Structure 1
Amino acid sequence: MVAKKLGTRTLGKVVKSNSHCDYVVQLDDDMSTSCPPQPGEFGFGSFVKLANGDRPSIVGIIYNSQLVNPTFLNNGPRLSSEPDPVFAPDLIHETRTLLGIVLIGILEADPSQTEIYGVQSIPRDVVPVNAAVECMDDHEIYRFHLNVEGKPQFRYYSLLLRYGGSFAAHLTEQVLQELIDFNLFPPQDQRALEMLCKELTWRNTMGTLR
């Protein structure tokens, strides 16, 4: 496993869902926290976990982002290029970044209660509004790709292709490449992942040329 991300960071909170496994997260900004997340922490294809009370954390992947700017196409008079927080605090507060999250499983505690493992499928629980959303560190990503017996797994391939939005193929390709870089799977499975990734890359390239 290659170490990249250390520790976890709160990204924001759940504000709505488009389906049972497609959620929208509102990113924290400097109006809601003194230390808002940085751009590199919520990029396309990033693994995140959603708080679920006393239940196991739910795992998702960022598949889309959307900027909400109330000043765009505003035909009214403008007194300055930037809204003044003293005279227009609500306007600044309404400028948002929204993230699309596809849910792919949960993080369970193993029988010894000392480690975690992944259950890769559509989660049964409904994530509540305002649930906290955090980055996953490399150890959590690594453990999510091990089952309860400690064997490597990659069972959410079809979920990404079906629910990953208009960028589903590119999202799946990026996740596959990250798993390959982790070097988590045995040689035979590693080669299968590499072949699958090359096939997706070829499809994406040919689709662009057509």
Structure 2
Amino acid sequence: MKIGKIVKSDSHINYVCQIFGPREADIQPGPADYAFGRFVRIAVRSERSDDPDALLDEALGQSREPITYAVGVIYDTILQNPAFGALGPRLSNETQVELFSPDYISEKAVLTYVMILGMMEERSVFGSEPEILSVMHGVPLLSLELDSEIETMTDEEVRTFHFFADPAGGPDSQSPYLHMGYVPHIIAQRSSLLPMVTLRIIDQLERLFPQNLALLSIVKRNFAWRLKVETTG
């Protein structure tokens, strides 16, 4: 589900997304769609083909070329209302403005902050599940573009983003494992909410990877202890 578009960046990995308002999308996103700790993805437009046939194939659910997505997590929300503090009289209330001035642009907005955690490359094939070609955790090489649309990720997509299958014991040995390679650069960021969003991520992974519950419990306790120590100084 598409929930908004990028309107600003604070750094190479921190972006501000404006959530779609009324009549800006076919389905207006609700608060649960941009909740704290929600995983989202953004297509890297500079790598997408401008071929009209390729764009048509993508709209139909089939793609000749792989699509690269930046994967991120929502870690903060800002409610913007420029009219706050302007307590003077009004000639029209909000209902009358919508009726008599349908072209009026509301300056109220919901802004979410997204931290990019890695990249995912996939190819969509009509009639079957998308084929995941590669997954990378950490700081991406490419930056995102303004007005790029942000969409929520399903549980299966989140699971795929965290489930690696690297050759561990040789070319014939495949040992899938849970991976959180983005944790070091989350810790390096200066935001009081990031330790909390890390705990929220672990909560989600505990639900998606019950077989790794013991490992995730250890990581969760370490982060909870770190948060407590930093809070008390």
Normalising by the smaller structure, the TM-score range is: 0.7 to 0.9
Paired position in structure 2 for 1:176: 202
Larger Rg: 2
2:218 to 192, 195, 202: 195
Q: Deviations over 1:163-208 (max 9, x none)?
A: 372201111111112112222665xxx4332112023224445666
Paired position in structure 1 for 2:116: 103
Could you say if the C-alpha distance between residues 117 and 148 of structure 1 is closer, same or farther in structure 2, counting changes exceeding 3 Å? farther
Q: Does structure 1 residue 68 correspond to structure 2 residue 113? A: no
Structure 2: 5+ residue stretches without partners: 49-66, 124-129, 167-175
Structure 1: 5+ residue stretches without partners: 1-8
* In structure 2, distance between residues paired with 1:164 and 1:118: 26
% identity of equivalent residues: 27
Q: Deviations over 1:93-137 (max 9, x none)?
A: 211001100001011249xx8335521011111101011100000
Report how many residues are paired: 197
Counterpart residue identity of residue 69, structure 1: N
Matched ranges for 1:113-124 at <5 A: 114-124=131-141
Q: SS at 2:27's partner residue?
A: coil
Could you say if the C-alpha distance between residues 32 and 109 of structure 1 is closer, same or farther in structure 2, counting changes exceeding 3 Å? closer
* In structure 2, distance between residues paired with 1:133 and 1:171: 19
Q: SS at 2:145's partner residue?
A: coil
1:153 to 179, 182, 202: 179
Matched ranges for 1:44-83 at <5 A: 44-53=36-45, 54=48, 55-79=67-91, 82=94
Report deviation, 1:152.
2.3
Counterpart residue identity of residue 195, structure 2: A
Normalising by structure 1, report the TM-score: 0.82
* In structure 1, distance between residues paired with 2:215 and 2:120: 25
Report deviation, 1:51.
1.4
RMSD: 2.6
Normalising by structure 2, report the TM-score: 0.74
Q: Is the 8 A contact 1:117 1:146 kept in 2?
A: no
